Amino acid sequence: MYGHDVVGSYKILLGSFLLPLTCAAHSTILFFLLKKFTKITQDKIIKICLGVFALQPIYALLLVKSYDELVTSFKKLKYLFFNLFGSNVYAEFNEKKKKLQKTVIALV
């Protein structure tokens, strides 16, 4: 009862409509900027813009995958920190962090 189907439908909406629209918008902006500020022929500009349109979803996928791996690696790093320095160091760090957060919230 957490609404996972709603989250899935938003992801489908994003993947099927918004990502191609964003890629098309970026390619169009690139087309006009290259046409205005460079002396490249129009055929090359069109090829570059089509390449950007085709490669941008691949770059987006790679960036999402790398971010997921970064989060996973960071979680593993936390447990490595545990093993290297002992749990008391990590507990002290968390206590100091909570005190600092309370201080900052009180100041704000």
pLDDT at 6: 67
- Domain for residue 71, yes or no? yes
Please indicate, yes or no, whether the overall pTM of this predicted structure exceeds 0.95: no
pLDDT in tens, the chain (108 residues): 555 666 677 778 777 888 889 999 999 999 999 999 999 999 999 999 999 999 998 998 898 888 888 878 777 777 777 777 766 777 787 888 899 999 988 887
Reading the block at residue 28, the tokens are: 């169009």
CA dihedral over 15, 70, 78, 91, signed as positive or negative? negative
pLDDT of amino acid 89: 72
Residue 42 lies in a domain: yes
- Scanning 38-86, the segments in alpha helix (DSSP H) are 42-85
Assess contact for 45 and 34: CB atoms under 8 A: yes
Please give the pLDDT value at position 108: 78
Q: Is residue 97 part of a domain?
A: no
Q: What pLDDT does residue 51 have?
A: 96
Is the Cβ–Cβ distance between 23 and 53 less than 8 Å? yes
Number of separate domains in the chain: 1
- Residue 3: per-residue pLDDT: 58
> Which residues constitute the domain of residue 49?
4-81
Nearest residue to 29 via CA among 49, 9, 50, 2:
49
Give the list of residues 6+ apart from residue 82 with CB closer than 8 angstroms, or none. Answer: 90
